[in-house]
Amino acid sequence: MMKLGAFSVSLSVKDIRASKQFYEKLGFSVFAGDLEKKYLIMKNEASLIGLFEGMFENNILTFNPGWDADAKTLADFEDVREIQARLKEKGLRLDQEANDTSSGPASIVLTDPDGNAILIDQHV
């Protein structure tokens, strides 16, 4: 089994302030981000959503290897380059690849059969 890390949905929003207010009414609170830079990460218990105004066109499923749901570094995790190699072995095409000779932060992007973007974004 692949360890993909913390999961969130990154939403492309039209008005960051309106979206923030809406999700606060659903019980989410700001966890990270910068309202003035038009992005927020919001949390309700273990559920995470990212609100991004004007940064990308469609919603994105996001995984963060090396992080738990509180953005704390895990002692044991599968590096994004290992995940990349395993996905390629399974015949999946990646839209964006990580440099497999690097270490530390990196990301990969792939698209599911229905056109949903999946970002695997390692910050550690």
CATH code, 6-122: 3.10.180.10
Structure confidence at residue 1 (pLDDT) = 86
Per domain, the residue ranges of the chain are 6-122
Sheet with 60-64: strands ordered across: 29-34, 39-44, 47-53, 6-13, 60-64, 117-122, 106-111
pTM: 0.92
Q: Are 87 and 73 in contact (CB under 8 A)?
A: no
- What's the CA gap between 37 and 50, in Å, rounded? 13
Structure confidence at residue 53 (pLDDT) = 98
- Which pLDDT band, with edges at 50, 70 and 90, does 102 fall under? very high
- Looking at every residue in the chain, the average pLDDT score rounds to 96
- What's the CA gap between 104 and 14, in Å, rounded? 33
pLDDT of 21-78, one tens digit each? 999 999 999 999 999 999 999 999 999 999 999 999 999 999 999 999 999 999 999 9
CA–chain centroid gap for 24, Å, is 20
The residue to which tokens 């966890």 are assigned: 31
